[in-house]
């Protein structure tokens, strides 16, 4: 089973709001850049990468968490990050039932993470990743703007 198929299954198995929220996040992430790769790591976590890990998604009992690997280094003018400020590397977005996703701001954050990864790749001499054919799952819900 591919990583994308495992993520499909995870979303299908989350029959409450968390599945819909994770599907919306996934749709925005994949729409941000056609070369993003989906991976399945750490015994059950969806991971999105391009020239390095961008973000990891997890569904918890009362929230969906999207953790950015190098979030502390990213500009966040729309203030999407709402947790993880105690560390110097990662930042996360916790979404609770009823929260809406600001899709344009999330896409901008994803693109900034890709730029950061590519900058790290250039410094280390690594070549950027090759293009992938990943596409969002069929039936993925449209993303609504975040409440003001």
Where are the chain's structural domains? 3-124
Phi and psi at 133, nearest 5°, equal: -100, 25
What is the pLDDT, as a whole number, of residue 120? 82
First to last CA, the chain: 40
What is the pLDDT, as a whole number, of residue 57? 97
What is the pLDDT, as a whole number, of residue 42? 85
- Name which of 57, 59, 72 is nearest 27 in CA terms: 57
What is the pLDDT, as a whole number, of residue 110? 98
CB atoms within 10 A of CB 109: 28
Phi and psi at 32, nearest 5°, equal: -70, -30
Mean pLDDT by groups of 10 residues along the chain of 148 residues: 96 97 97 97 94 97 97 97 95 98 97 95 64 42 39
DSSP string, the chain: --HHHHHHHHHHH--SHHHHHHHHHHHHHHHH-TT-EEEEETTTEEEEESSSEEEEEEE-SS-EEEEETTGGGS--TT----B-TTSSS-EEEEE-TT----HHHHHHHHHHHHHHHHHHHHHHTPPPPPP----PPTTPPPPPPPP-
Phi and psi at 59, nearest 5°, equal: -100, 120
* Both tokens assigned to 78: 């729309």
* Stated pTM of the model: 0.82
The matching CATH number, chosen from 1.10.760.10, 3.90.1150.200, 3.40.1010.20, 3.30.310.10, for 3-124 is 3.90.1150.200
What is the pLDDT, as a whole number, of residue 122? 73
């Amino acid at each position: 089973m591919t990583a994308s198929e495992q993520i499909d299954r995870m979303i299908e198995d989350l029959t409450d709001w968390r599945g819909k929220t994770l599907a919306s996040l996934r749709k925005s992430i994949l729409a941000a850049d056609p070369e993003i790769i989906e991976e399945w790591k750490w015994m059950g976590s969806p991971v999105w990468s391009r020239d390095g890990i961008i973000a990891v998604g997890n569904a918890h009992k009362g929230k969906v968490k999207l953790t950015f690997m190098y979030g502390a280094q990213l500009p966040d003018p729309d203030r999407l990050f709402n947790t993880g400020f105690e560390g110097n590397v990662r930042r996360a977005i916790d979404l609770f039932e009823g929260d809406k996703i600001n899709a344009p701001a999330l896409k901008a954050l994803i693109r900034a993470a890709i730029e950061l990864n590519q900058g790290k790749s250039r410094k280390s001499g690594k070549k950027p990743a090759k293009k992938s054919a990943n596409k969002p799952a069929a039936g993925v819900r449209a993303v609504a703007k975040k409440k003001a």
